[in-house]
Chains A and B, each alone.
Chain A
Amino acid sequence: MSGSTLHDWLLSDAPASRRQAAWAGRYQTWLALRRNKLALAGLFVALTMLVVALFAPLLATHDPGVQNLGNRLQPPSAAHWLGTDELGRDVWSRVAYGARITLGMVVAVVVLVAPIGLLVGCAAGYAGGWLDRILMRVTDVFLAFPRLILALAFVAAMKPGVESAVAAIALTAWPPYARLARAETLRIRDADFIAAVRMLGASPWRIVLRHVAPVCIPSVIVRVTLDMSSIVLTAAGLGFLGLGAQPPLPEWGTMIATARRFILEQWWVAVIPGIAIFLASLAFNLLGDGLRDVLDPKQR
């Protein structure tokens, strides 16, 4: 009963408060997203990963770091659900803890990148002139390197590890956000509501932060979700090349790099983290596609 009253409250034609109107908008987005089965599947997998990452100590059956050399490279069994690796460590527990590292890196990159890109793009688009030209040339330069290559060179200059991998991916990930935010800003810069705010005496910073940036947020959210998939892949790629998370950390790409030597006989040791990477990346792609259809109908 309370479910249906909540439903009515959310879909009311005459919202009584700003809060109700805001939640009504979000609820409608959710209703639209719910119709897309694939996007829901993506959301489900992403949430499952989040749960695994948060509760890894509870879900893991073994300590991910404890070695048992008498029990190396075992196939999946009741004791070790996904088998053991070359040092006798439990693969399931390592994959579960690996979700922490991968999701942690994804979140760190997004938290670093999205606000910077948004701010740079909005400022460039709103200010125009020389600031716009300089900032866009800077994004051009960063877009002129393939992502993984620039990240590689950057990691090489620092010490390989999770932190430098995050910094390197962030360095290569912000320009598209700036481009996107700039395009959105150009679209609304001359809108009447911006002119109205300006005439009320708002400072340029206030206009950008409070009025321009919020309009760009839906398209940035879509981009972030789709980008998460490529961040997962780049982080795993760096780990695989030995330049991301370092062993004994159970990062998925790093796990594949060490398990690669046993691929011909004990293939599951390498394939299981591979499936984890694939599922994570696929989930963010599905969710991103669904969100794009809902939040940003202009882009196909």
Chain B
Amino acid sequence: MKRYPRLRALAATATTVPITLFGLVLVTFLIGRVVPIDPVLAIVGDRAPQDVVERARLDLGLDRPLPEQFLRYLGQIASGDLGRSVMTANPVTEDIARFFPATFELATLAIILAALVGVPLGVLAAVRQGTWIDQTVRLFCLIGHSLPVFVLGLLSLLLFYARLGWAPGPGRQGIAFDGMVDVRTGVLTLDAVLARDWPAFWDAVAHLAQPAGVLAFFSLAYIARMTRAFMLAELSSEYIITARAKGLSGGRIVWRHAFRNIAVPLVTVLALTYAGLLEGAVLTETIFSWPGLGQYLTVSLLNADMNAVLGATLVVGLIYVALNLLADLTYRLLDPRVR
């Protein structure tokens, strides 16, 4: 192994991931066990006779000691069983599979928008360090860090939907298009393209634009801030001074020399931001009635539907770990200095 330091680092990461995953499951299990709501009563109702309650308790394995319950829970999760949602009466895994594409669509568009705007802004601020452009970008970033995403969402609805009428209202598609497009991937824009249904496609895009824009603004601030910091460090290094001394043009130095070197840490930042969007999505989806994982989570929460809550929490945790791992791996694989 000694001759393959990258492999060794990968092996080290590979051993920490299962431990983290185990911890994730343990945390959701423990949260599920401290609930003051009796899971049995949630299923049979509080007027059920004593023997029905007892039978349900035995069925759920709740009479067994905690470690045994945990092992059973682990086994269920390993086979992809997250229990049944009390609210929708479907298996939680099915529910999540149905709600996830909406969140995926929203978060993906948001990260693309945020990267397209945030990265150039950060580079610009770094190149023009100390000028009014730099100050404006920094102020913009600070606002993005400080503004609650749900307030921004409400303001956006107020302005673009209610006052200007530019954007359609909350939801994922207009009433006229409801159920008109066959569900293939669950990603509505993609489904509309596959069905060659262009009016439905533009309707979906119009509905997507506002929540995605709000969510993008949220992560744009972080991306621009990090880009600026990376770029500043790079621009003050010696090879850039050499390049300047050789008489290379400013644009060439920035994009061909400095930007190439910050591209790898930027990929990491983007992956982490993407993971963070899941969090912003919970609030954004509530504001825009977007039927995604975040809304599923909050609605289940308010109905004390613990299987659904813990299932969704676990899935979000898994995605989060996967994205972090991805960021880590790309960093290791792309940057020859990390060995």
Contact = CB atoms under 8 A, between A and B. Distances in A.
Contact of B151 (A146, A147, A150, A274): A274
20 contacts: A141-B23, A144-B317, A144-B320, A145-B316, A146-B278, A150-B317, A152-B282, A153-B28, A155-B301, A156-B306, A156-B309, A240-B148, A242-B302, A256-B150, A256-B154, A271-B151, A278-B147, A281-B147, A285-B142, A285-B146
A260 interface: yes
Interface string B141-177: 0110111111100110110001000000000000000
Given A152-B298, A256-B151, A278-B151, A137 B20 contact: yes
Contacts of B297: 149, 152
B286 A147 contact: no
Contacts of B27: 141-142, 145, 150
Given A145-B24, A157-B34, A260 B154 contact: yes
Given A140-B19, A141-B26, A155-B301, 6 more contacts: A144-B24, A148-B283, A154-B31, A157-B35, A278-B147, A285-B145
A12 B20 CA distance: 53
Where chain B touches its partner, the secondary structure class is helix
Contact of A147 (B35, B142, B279): B279
B208 interface: no
Interface stretch (A2-10, A50-58, A111-119, A229-237): A229-237
A300 interface: yes
Interface residues on B, range: 35 or more
A263 interface: yes
B310 interface: yes
Interface in A266-300: 267, 270-271, 274, 277-278, 281-282, 285-286, 300
Interface string A128-169: 000000000110111011111110111111110000000000
A263 B279 CA distance: 24
B229 interface: yes
Contacts of A270: 151, 154
Contacts of A137: 16, 19-20, 23
A145 B149 CA distance: 19
Contacts, number: 138
A145 B313 contact: yes
A282 B283 contact: no
Given A156-B304, A285-B142, A150 B313 contact: yes
A264 interface: yes
Given A146-B278, A152-B301, A237 B148 contact: yes
Given A137-B20, A241-B298, A146 B306 contact: no
A44 to B, nearest CB: 15
A263 B16 CA distance: 47
Given A241-B283, A263-B154, A282-B143, A233 B148 contact: yes
B282 A145 contact: no
Nearest to A148: B279
Given A157-B35, A263-B158, A146 B142 contact: no
